[in-house]
Amino acid sequence: MEFDTIFGNAARAGLGPQAAIFALAAIGLNLHFGYAGLLNFGQVGFMMLGAYGTAIVVATWGGSLWLGIPFGLGLCVAFALALGIPTLRLRSDYFAITTIAAAEILRLLIRSSPATDVTGGPFGLQAIANSFYDLNFLPDGRFGWGTFTYSSNQLWVMLVAWILVVLCSALVLGLIRSPWGRVVRAIREDEDAVLSLGKNTVAYKLQALVIGGLIGGLAGVIDVLQQSGVGSENFEPQVTFFAWAALILGGLATTVGPVVGAMLFWFLREGVESFIRQLSEQGWLPNALADFLDGAEGAISIALMGVGLVGLMALRPQGIFGRRRNLHLGT
Amino acid sequence: MSEMTTTRPELTQAALEAAPPGRLKDDPILITFGMLKTFGGIRAVDIDHLEIERGTITAIIGPNGAGKTTLFNLLTGFDRPDHGSWRLDGRRLGGLPPHRIARLGMVRTFQLTRSLSRLTVLENMAVAAQTQRGERLERALLRWLWQSEEERVMTRASELLDRFGIAHMADEQAGTLSGGQRKLLEMARALMTDPHMVMLDEPTAGVNPALTESLLEHIRNLNAQGVTIVFVEHNMDVVMDISDWVVVMAQGRILTEGRPEEVVANEEVIDAYLGRAHERGNDEGEPGEEESDA
C-alpha cells in the first residue's frame, strides 16, 4: 500500500485549481447563505455564466479574453437581478426553488441544439485562454517534485486562482465587518425586524446576491482558463452541492471556512478515490468486490464523502471553523 | 383630501364627552381615514376615523381578535389595507413600504420580540441608527468615510443600553438575553432610530412585574422627551397607570375612545372586553361577541 502516493494525489487535488474554483464558489455561497441567509441552490448557474460568457466572446465572436471576462461577469449580475427581483420579496423558500430551477434551465438552454452556433451545444467551446497564458511570466519547464510537479502554465493558473481566492475572502470579510455587513447579517436573523428599523432589506439582499454571484462567476472564469475550454457537463447541479458541502465542512459565516472546506473536500475526495484504486490494484480486495468497484472509484468516493458529512453533522454540526454556540441561537 | 384644512372644533370637556369614536384631536400626529382590511369574509380592521394626539401615550385595548395588531401592521406598512389613507405629520403613508414608514419616524416593536440573535446586543442597537454612510455598499470598504460616524453610533448605542440597564450585555449575542432583556433591547433599539412616534405591540407581555415597572418608566421617559406613544396592552393596570387616552377596539371597529377613567366606566367596554372576557377567564383567540353599534 503506497500511502505516500495516496497522500500525494490527495494533496495535489487539495491544492489544485479545482479546489480554488470550489473555494470561490463556496465564498460566494457563504456571503449568500452564511451572512445574508439567502438559500442559493443555483450557484452553478453563476459559474456557468462566468465561464460561457467568457468563452462565447472569445471562441464564437472572436473577441478578446479581456472583454470576455467582464462580459461573463456582467451576465452574472444580470442573472442575479433576474433571479432576485421577482423572488426576494417572497419567502426564502421561493427563492431557493427558483435558483435551482434557473441554473438547470440555463444549462439545458446552453446545450440545446438551437444554441449550438453560439455555445457549441454538447461539444462546448475550446481554445479560449491563450491570451491568459501569454501573460504567464513564470519560466518554462517543470517545477516541484514527485506528485507535486507542475508545468509552468499549471502553476500560473493556480497562482492566479489562489490569489483570487485570497482577494475574494478579503473582500467578503471587509464587507461583512462594515455597517453594510451588519445590516446583511441582521436580515439573516430577522428580516421584519430590520424592515421595522427603516432598512430596505430587499435592496441589501439583492446586493449580497449580486456580489456572491460575481464571486461564483469568477470561479467559472477560472474554470475556463484552466481548461482553456468549456462544456455544459461541467455545470450539472451537483457542482452547487459540492460547493455547499465544502462550505458546510469548513463552517458557515467564517472567513477561512469555505476555503479550507473546499481544499479538504478535494483532498478527501481524491484521497478516498486513490485509496480504493490502490486497494484493487494491490489485490487486497476479493475479486468480486474489486470488479464491482472497478471504474466506480469516483462514485464510491462521493458516497463515502456523504457518509463523512453526516458524521461531521453529528459530531461538529457547525463545521470545522464554525462557532457551535451560534447554532443554538438560530432563529 | 381636504381633511387637513378643515377647522377643528375646540376640544372642550363637553365636546369630548359628546363625541363619537374617531374624535378630533387638537394636534394630531397621526390621522387615519376609512381603513378597511378583510381576511376572507372577516373585517379584521374597519375604522372610519382615528386620530392620535401628538405627545400623548395612547393605549389600544380590546379582546383578542379585535384587530389591534392588524391595525399596527397596516399603519406601519407591514400589511396593506383594502382601502384607507393615513398620514403622519401630514405625510401620506398609504402604499409606502415598511422601511420608508420607519424612516419617516414611526417605529414599531413586535408582540413576539425580534432580537437579532447572532448579532451582539450592541450590534442590534447599531443596526437601528438611521442614514449611516457605511451602510451603503459602495462605501462599505472605505472605512475612513464612516469610521467617525461609526464611533458616534456606538457611543449613542452604549448610552442607550446603559439607560435601559443592559449595558453589561453589550458584547453578548442577543440570543443569550432573557425574555425581559429582549423587551428592553427592542425598546432601546426602537429609540435608536430617533422616532417621532413609537408603536409598541404588547410591551409588557410575558414580563415579570418588576421589569414591567421599569419598562413603563422607560415609556414615560420617552414620552417626556416628546415622543408620541401608541401601545397595545391587555393589562388594565398598566393601561390605567400610564395612558393619557384609551382606544377600545372590538371586531375590527373602534368601540369607543376617551380618557382611561371614562373608558373603564363605559358599559359597552365592560360588556365587550372587561367584563365578559374576564369573567370567562380569558377565552383566548376569540373575538369579542358583543355587537358594537358605534
Of residues B23 and B215, more confidently modeled: B215
Residue B279 pLDDT greater than 60, yes or no: no
pTM, two decimal places: 0.90
Antiparallel, parallel or unpaired: β B228-232 and B57-61: parallel
Residue type, A1: M
For residue B50, give the nearest of B33, B37, B70, B38 by alpha carbon.
B33
| CB-based contact A197 B136, cutoff 8 Å | no
Task: Measure in Å the smallest separation between the Cα of A66 and chain B Cα atoms.
Answer: 24
The residues of B whose Cβ lies within 8 A of any Cβ of A are 76, 78, 97-100, 102-103, 107-110, 114-119, 123-124, 126-128, 130, 132-137, 139-141, 143, 146, 150, 153, 173, 175-176, 189-190, 192-193
Residue type, A311: G
| Position A305 confidence tier, pLDDT thresholds 50, 70, 90 | confident
Residue A89 pLDDT greater than 90, yes or no: no
Q: What is the ipTM of this complex?
A: 0.89
Q: With beta carbons under 8 A apart, name residues in chain A contacting B115.
A: 189-190, 193
pLDDT of residue A321: 86
3-class state of residue B32 by DSSP: strand
Residue type, B35: M
pLDDT of residue A323: 79
Name, in order, each residue with C-beta under 8 angstroms of A96's C-beta and a sequence gap of 6 or more.
A39, A40, A41
Task: Measure in Å the smallest separation between the Cα of A182 and chain B Cα atoms.
Answer: 7
Query: What does the pLDDT look like over A19-54, one tens digit per residue?
Result: 999 999 999 999 999 999 999 999 999 999 999 999
pLDDT of residue B113: 87
Residue A143 pLDDT greater than 60, yes or no: yes
Residue A1 pLDDT greater than 50, yes or no: yes
Query: What does the pLDDT look like over A190-201, one tens digit per residue?
Result: 999 999 999 999
pLDDT of residue A145: 85
Residues in chain A: 331
pLDDT of residue A326: 72
Task: Measure in Å the smallest separation between the Cα of A206 and chain B Cα atoms.
Answer: 11
pLDDT of residue B202: 92
What is the distance between the alpha carbons of residues B147 and B42, in angstroms, rounded to a whole number? Answer: 51
Question: Quick one: average pLDDT of B117-132?
Answer: 96
Antiparallel, parallel or unpaired: β B42-53 and B28-39: antiparallel
Residue of B114, B154, B186 to mutate, interface with A, max A Cβ within 10 Å: B114
Each residue of B108-132: b (16+ CB within 10 Å) or e?
bbbeebbbbbbbbbbbbbbbbbbeb
pLDDT of residue B289: 41
